[in-house]
Chain A
Amino acid sequence: EAGVTQFPSHSVIEKGQTVTLRCDPISGHDNLYWYRRVMGKEIKFLLHFVKESKQDESGMPNNRFLAERTGGTYSTLKVQPAELEDSGVYFCASSPKTGLILDTQYFGPGTRLTVL
């Protein structure tokens, strides 16, 4: 079974540019999450999709970040315009179903974003 995949693995852009990150969850997983790790800090939650619906977007930093999951399969996270403080590693995770006691989140390898 293929794991969570993310594209690209690295992205270097200039301040003010736009970047779109993609996440393909494990096939059949209803739940999809985005997290971010800024250098030296802990991994922080950004948002949670259940199928195509946003269940919780309390961690989204501001309106420069837009996440979509059309069709309930893969998801994209767009940053527009990017700022220096957006640099970090963006992780995607997926889990099977909501409501299970143990609903383990499986993580992708992350996209390392550098904003110059």
Chain B
Amino acid sequence: GQNIDQPTEMTATEGAIVQINCTYQTSGFNGLFWYQQHAGEAPTFLSYNVLDGLEEKGRFSSFLSRSKGYSYLLLKELQMKDSASYLCAVRSQGLYGGATNKLIFGTGTLLAVQP
């Protein structure tokens, strides 16, 4: 089956660093995405990993280990505006092993940044 797990809620302090973990079990793997979603708004693309290792983009970094079925999103120098839901999504494989653009989402991690 398809399963993506991430913590439901996290709390962190302004200026600190927070790591949001995501583990996945999917029938095939063709990339992992992180999205940020503020309440009532569209999910916004943050990062993409398809190879093992760390991808850095400003204050945000994302790590992937395909052998462990594991990713994390690292947010540095937290700001109040980072309070949002963070969605981990895997792009699986289609029938017969072909690529598919279908994303499989976790339930999201609601991050609260406190002063």
Contacts and interface: CB of A to CB of B under 8 A. Distances in A.
Contact of B101 (A33, A41, A58): A33
A35 B105 CA distance: 10
Given A48-B101, A48-B102, A56-B100, A108 B42 contact: yes
Interface residues of B, number: 25
A42 B108 contact: yes
B31 A102 contact: yes
Contacts of B41: 109
A17 interface: no
Given A45-B104, A59-B102, A109-B42, 17 more contacts: A41-B107, A42-B4, A42-B105, A42-B108, A43-B103, A43-B105, A44-B105, A48-B100, A91-B43, A101-B31, A102-B48, A102-B50, A104-B33, A105-B33, A105-B103, A106-B42, A107-B43
B19 to A, nearest CB: 21
Nearest to B99: A99
A3 B42 contact: yes
Looking at chain A's contact residues, the main secondary structure is loop
Q: Which 5 A-B pairs have the closest CB atoms?
A: A43-B105, A107-B42, A107-B43, A109-B42, A42-B107
Nearest to B40: A109
Contact of A56 (B94, B104, B107): B94
A60 B44 CA distance: 24
A95 B94 CA distance: 17
A11 interface: no
B70 interface: no
A4 B33 CA distance: 18
A31 interface: yes
B100 to A, nearest CB: 6
Contacts of A20: none
Nearest to B43: A107
Contacts of A108: 42
A103 B30 CA distance: 11
Contacts of A3: 42
Contacts of A59: 102
Contact of A104 (B48, B50, B108): B48
